[in-house]
Amino acid sequence: MTTENAPDATSPAKPPVHVVDRPDLPPPRLGPETIDDFLVWAASVPVGEVDAVRRAIASAAASQRDELVDLLHRELWRLPVTDVSRHLVLLSTVGELRDPRSAQGLADLVWFEPLVDERPGSTPGCSFEVDPTRMIQARAVEMLSYLATEEADRLTVRVALEHPSPAVRAAAIDAHLYNHGDSAEEADRLRAVVRSEDVVLVGVPRFTRDTDPDELARSVQEFYDRHPSERADDPRHGDEPQPRHRGTGTPAEGSA
């Protein structure tokens, strides 16, 4: 599906970014000439120190917010994507900026496809078992929801209801609940409107670095109480394997 109002997607794609593990370096300036350096640095920052990335983005936005918004939006639409990892970090940067003007552009990206060159022999930077276009769309809807505006909420819920990819719908559902404080009222509202096969996705336990293990265990138990059919069968229950003749693959004589 394409979007009529999507920005020009014919701009030349950027070369792949090769992440360097040097989070000790001072953050590069986030600007037109150094955006790739910034993305490399941001990708190398440990999860526990992500506030350093937020501070760097806020610092850049303080003096040139309009220019920064335009820059990031242009970079989002340099298609086809040749480096999925770079685009995921770029989307996170757009999300951390939290500019309401990003809402429609992020929503357009969620619905636009293909985002990655899918011709035979093409390689999108890294190989993934998951469709790379869906990975980018899922991150885009997460960042869309993170904007936390009425428009962003409306666009996110539309993705949760209508997107053709189950993975992207799941990302929209989880992001919407997360950004509404996992409100029970909001969960009930989603259950009433999402597809019947997606009801089980509303309120799936979420593990983050701040998750309390006991709280996670309670959440998992509550999830299975609501959806017992989702519980995996106990592998210990079932017929014992029969002994086999060596090298034949057939049951031994006299075995039950």
Tell me: pLDDT of 8 over 60. Answer: no
> Distance between CA 245 and CA 97 in Å, rounded?
66
**Local structure of 81: helix, strand or coil:** strand
Predicted local distance difference test score (pLDDT) of residue 12: 46
> Distance between CA 125 and CA 15 in Å, rounded?
9
82: which DSSP letter? S
- Asked whether 196 and 206 are in contact (CB, 8 A), the reply is no
pLDDT tens across 98-116, in order? 999 999 999 999 999 999 9
Q: How far is CA 208 from CA 79, 118, 151, 172, 235, in A?
A: 31, 32, 27, 17, 28
pLDDT tens across 161-192, in order? 999 999 999 999 999 999 999 999 999 999 99
Average pLDDT, rounded, for the chain: 82
CATH numeric code, 35-229: 1.25.10
- Asked whether 19 and 40 are in contact (CB, 8 A), the reply is yes
Percent of the chain with pLDDT over 70: 69
> Distance between CA 188 and CA 166 in Å, rounded?
20
Q: Which residue has the higher pLDDT, 198 or 249?
A: 198
> Is residue 136 very low, low, confident or very high in pLDDT (cuts 50, 70, 90)?
very high
Tell me: pLDDT of 19 over 70. Answer: no
Please give the angle made by the CA atoms of 171, 175 and 180, to the nearest 5 degrees.
Answer: 155
**Local structure of 94: helix, strand or coil:** helix
Which residue spans within the chain are E strands per DSSP? none
> Is residue 205 very low, low, confident or very high in pLDDT (cuts 50, 70, 90)?
confident
> Distance between CA 160 and CA 95 in Å, rounded?
18
> Distance between CA 52 and CA 45 in Å, rounded?
8
Handedness of CA 20, 58, 77, 142 (dihedral sign): positive
Give the chain's radius of gyration (CA, Å): 23
Kind and range of the H or E run holding 186: helix 184-193
- Pair of tokens at residue 125: 């930077």
Mean pLDDT for 203-208 is 76
Q: Count CA atoms within 13 Å of residue 246 on its CB side.
A: 0
Show me where the domains of the chain are located. Answer: 35-229
The set of residues, in sequence order, having a beta carbon less than 8 Å from that of 243 and lying 6+ positions away, is 251, 252, 255
